[in-house]
């Protein structure tokens, strides 16, 4: 039975018998061609066995069948880094953080790329052949044989924490910063900063690129993430070289998801609607009225009639999607905090928080 095969493979996976899993499952590919669980087991087994070609093929099939699975994305990111495809690795880690903002493996991966700021095969070899690479692989199955050592470490850590309990309040508080940010720099020599190949929306000079990059770092240091993203988008959608864009994407990994109390530099609807690509990924707060509400099993979508919450001026209509539950109805006056998305010139908002507005008496 198909389920028996997957159960057997799951047991072998927990025992870390990766080569046995590969032998068992590779002959069953036709039977399980539509099973994401099958391809995830097979892909991760190849990954842990060092077969990166097989891992890439099987994990990509798993992603086709189930696009938002964290362990699949982590596996694909590790394979991409192994093959020096850092842009692909970064994109996959960012997808993971979008699903699980506190995922440690994805954050370790991004921190690793920031630290080495990979620009050549030598640096990549240093990472992929070290213990650092093993730390960014998807979580391995639990191995009961190593439980004693962690317990000893846990006990020692508990005793240490108890000893420090009365000391820590006396220490001066550390200033929260963004470690690693100052180390990401652009070289004015080689590789080139400009490339006229491919499609681009903005044409920048080397001076323009250096200025935008410098400004983006300054904004990030000041925790003005929206302004930083605006500068980075100018680079990412320009004639800047792949080298520059890779550095720019590294800077985007420092951006943090805000809430209503922390969001800064809010862009107006009129600003964004004129040039939505420049503001893609930025967070904004817009008020309006809910229309065309559709409540599904996994998400809620509606059109936000921007500015119409007071029924005086309709600035525009923006599609909004929520991946969390909310009690809404058509005509609700709402304030939406969300991430601006621009695809093929179409503006939309991925909401991360909402706030009902009290209706004024007529």
From the CB of residue 112, how many other CB atoms can be counted at a distance below 10 Å? Answer: 19
- Based on the domain organization, do 8 and 130 belong to the same domain? yes
Q: What is the pLDDT of residues 274-307, one digit of tens each?
A: 999 999 999 999 999 999 999 988 889 999 999 9
Q: How much is the mean pLDDT over the chain?
A: 83
Q: Which candidate, 11, 91, 21, 28, places its Cα nearest to that of 51?
A: 21
- Based on the domain organization, do 28 and 112 belong to the same domain? yes
Predicted local confidence at residue 119, as pLDDT? 46
Domain count, the chain: 3
CATH number for position 283: 2.40.50.140
Cα separations in angstroms, 355 against 197, 225, 267, 362: 45, 22, 18, 21
* Residue 63 clears pLDDT 50, i.e. is over it: yes
Predicted local confidence at residue 1, as pLDDT? 46
Predicted local confidence at residue 221, as pLDDT? 93
Q: Which of 20-24, 137-141, 337-341 has the highest mean pLDDT?
A: 337-341
Reported confidence tier of residue 141, pLDDT bands at 50, 70, 90: low
Predicted local confidence at residue 118, as pLDDT? 46
- Based on the domain organization, do 225 and 311 belong to the same domain? no
Domain membership of residue 21 (yes or no) is yes
- Based on the domain organization, do 279 and 242 belong to the same domain? no
Q: Which of 138-147, 149-158, 330-339 has the highest mean pLDDT?
A: 330-339
For residues 106, 108, 110, 111, the Cα torsion angle rounded to the nearest 10 degrees is: 160
Domain termination site, one of 134, 149, 178: 134
For residue 202, the enclosing domain spans: 186-252
Instruction: Tell me the average pLDDT across 330-351.
Output: 91
Q: What is the pLDDT of residues 155-212, one digit of tens each?
A: 666 666 655 555 545 544 444 567 888 888 887 666 788 888 888 889 999 999 999 9
CATH number for position 19: 1.25.40.10
Peptide bond into 191 cis (omega under 30): yes
- Based on the domain organization, do 124 and 52 belong to the same domain? yes
Predicted local confidence at residue 263, as pLDDT? 92
Domain membership of residue 336 (yes or no) is yes
Give the span between the Cα atoms of 147 and 195, in whole angstroms.
53
Domain membership of residue 181 (yes or no) is no
Instruction: Tell me the average pLDDT across 82-97.
Output: 86
- Based on the domain organization, do 241 and 276 belong to the same domain? no
Domain membership of residue 172 (yes or no) is no
Which two three-digit tokens encode residue 83?
């093959």
- Based on the domain organization, do 115 and 28 belong to the same domain? yes
Cα separations in angstroms, 195 against 5, 156, 242, 264: 51, 55, 8, 33
- Based on the domain organization, do 227 and 333 belong to the same domain? no
- What percent of the chain clears pLDDT 70, i.e. is strictly above it? 83
- Based on the domain organization, do 14 and 99 belong to the same domain? yes
- Based on the domain organization, do 8 and 113 belong to the same domain? yes
- Based on the domain organization, do 116 and 209 belong to the same domain? no
Residue found by looking up tokens 């880094």 in the block: 81
Domain membership of residue 153 (yes or no) is no
Give the span between the Cα atoms of 307 and 300, in whole angstroms.
21
Between β-strands 300-306 and 333-343, what pairing exists: parallel, antiparallel or unpaired? unpaired
């Amino acid at each position: 039975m198909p389920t028996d095969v997957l159960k057997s493979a799951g047991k072998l996976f927990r025992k870390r018998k990766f080569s046995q899993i590969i032998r068992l499952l590779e002959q069953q590919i036709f039977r399980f061609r539509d099973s994401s669980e099958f391809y995830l087991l097979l892909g991760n087994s190849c990954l842990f066995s060092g077969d990166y070609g097989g891992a890439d093929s099987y994990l990509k099939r798993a992603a086709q069948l189930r696009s938002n699975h964290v362990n699949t994305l982590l596996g694909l990111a590790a394979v991409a880094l192994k093959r020096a495809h850092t842009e692909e690795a970064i994109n996959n880690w960012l997808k993971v953080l979008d699903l699980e903002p506190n995922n440690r493996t994805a954050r370790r991966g991004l921190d690793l790329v920031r630290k080495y700021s990979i620009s050549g095969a030598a640096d990549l070899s240093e990472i992929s052949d070290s213990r650092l690479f093993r730390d960014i692989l998807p979580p391995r199955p639990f191995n009961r044989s190593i439980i004693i050592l962690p317990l000893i470490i846990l006990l020692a850590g508990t005793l240490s924490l108890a000893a420090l309990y009365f000391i820590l309040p006396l220490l001066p508080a550390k200033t929260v910063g963004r470690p690693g940010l100052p180390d990401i720099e652009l070289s004015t020599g080689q590789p080139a900063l400009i490339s006229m190949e491919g499609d681009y929306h903005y044409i920048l000079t080397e001076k323009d690129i250096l200025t935008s990059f410098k400004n983006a770092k300054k904004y990030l240091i000041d925790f003005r993430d929206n302004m930083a993203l605006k500068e980075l988008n100018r680079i990412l959608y320009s004639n800047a070289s792949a080298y520059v864009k890779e550095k720019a994407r590294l800077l985007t990994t420092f951006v943090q998801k805000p809430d209503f109390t922390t969001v800064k530099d809010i862009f107006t609807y009129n600003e964004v609607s004129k040039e939505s690509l420049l503001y893609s990924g930025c967070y904004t707060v817009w008020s309006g009225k809910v229309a065309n509400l559709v409540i599904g099993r996994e998400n809620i979508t509606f059109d936000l009639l921007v500015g119409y919450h007071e029924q005086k001026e309709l600035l525009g209509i923006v599609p909004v999607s929520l991946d969390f539950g909310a009690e809404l109805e058509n005509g609700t006056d709402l304030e939406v905090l969300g991430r601006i998305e621009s695809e093929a010139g179409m503006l939309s908002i991925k909401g991360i928080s909402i706030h009902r507005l009290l209706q004024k008496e007529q």
